Amino acid sequence: MRSCSRSIIEKPELVVETGTFSGISTLWIAEGLKANGRGKVITCEFDPVVYANAKTRIENSGVAEWIELRNQSSLEMNVEGTIDLFFSDSDLPIREQEVRRFLPQISPYGLILMHDASSHLKLVREAALKLEAEGLISVVLLPTPRGLVVAQKKQGRK
Ligand SMILES: C[S@@+](CC[C@H](N)C(=O)[O-])C[C@H]1O[C@@H](n2cnc3c(N)ncnc32)[C@H](O)[C@@H]1O
């Protein structure tokens, strides 16, 4: 039996991040998992050079055991299990595709984060509102400097 919504939001078992880049956000997530004493973050970066740099940073970080770094595209990567926190942070035009692709595996009690969702950047914000209009997710738009969508999957929520 999976734990209640508060618990999986505060203490996710499985975090998936798309777009590792330098690994900075991955390291922050891993610090949180370490503080919780549980969970794993799977992060993917499709550029081999960027991946290699992130790999070195992660290996030297002290939180590597909480991280699974993959040199793969988010649109090809497969993960096992239920995703409690999904952080979409790769290329702006594919964020919608990523959410659609992983949605069946995302817990209705977990969180979906889509970065770069400001009204200025438009693309991600519009993608999130489109997914909401289709009844797939419920969206909150946070006015962070680049904009952040915080969403939850609708299907399966009671
Ligand atoms: C905005 S950066 C990620 C920033 C990072 N999450 C952070 O906050 O530190 C986007 C990264 O996504 C990578 N990327 C773009 N498309 C991708 C895809 N389909 N799969 C995996 N990585 C991708 C790019 O190479 C780039 O390094």
- CA neighbor of 19 nearest in space, from 85, 69, 63: 69
In a domain, residue 119? The reply is no
Q: Inter-axis angle of helices 48-59 and 24-36, to 10 degrees?
A: 40
In a domain, residue 149? The reply is no
In a domain, residue 110? The reply is yes
What is the per-residue pLDDT across 104-125, written as a single tens digit (0 to 9) for each? 999 999 999 999 999 988 999 9
pTM score, two decimals?
0.96
In a domain, residue 127? The reply is no
How, if at all, do strands 137-142 and 148-153 pair? Answer: antiparallel
The pLDDT score that the predictor gives to residue 8 is: 86
- The reply to whether ligand 1 has any atom less than 6 angstroms from the CB of 75 is yes
Ligand 1 centroid to Cα of residue 73, in Å, is 9
The pLDDT score that the predictor gives to residue 74 is: 98
Q: In which band, very low, low, confident or very high, does the pLDDT at 4 lie, cut at 50, 70 and 90?
A: low
The pLDDT score that the predictor gives to residue 22 is: 98
Strand, helix or coil for residue 69:
strand
- The reply to whether ligand 1 has any atom less than 6 angstroms from the CB of 97 is no
In a domain, residue 92? The reply is yes
Element (H, E) at 97: helix 95-102
d(CA 68, CA 54): 11
In a domain, residue 70? The reply is yes
CB-CB neighbours of 65 under 10 Å: 11
- Whether the pLDDT of residue 62 is over 90: the answer is yes
- CA neighbor of 9 nearest in space, from 115, 127, 99, 110: 110
The pLDDT score that the predictor gives to residue 1 is: 45
In a domain, residue 18? The reply is yes
Task: Report the nearest atom of ligand 1 relative to the CA of 47.
Answer: 25
- Whether the pLDDT of residue 45 is over 90: the answer is yes
**Span 86-115, average pLDDT:** 98
CATH of residue 93's domain is: 3.40.50.150
Containing domain of residue 94, as a range? Answer: 5-114
- Per the listing, tokens 């009844």 go with 135
Per-chain mean pLDDT for the chain: 95
d(CA 153, CA 136): 6
- The reply to whether ligand 1 has any atom less than 6 angstroms from the CB of 19 is yes
d(CA 117, CA 108): 21
Percentage with pLDDT > 90 across the chain = 91
- The reply to whether ligand 1 has any atom less than 6 angstroms from the CB of 84 is no
Percentage with pLDDT > 70 across the chain = 96
Total number of domains in the chain:
1
Cβ atoms of residues 67 and 93 within 8 Å: no
- Whether the pLDDT of residue 27 is over 60: the answer is yes
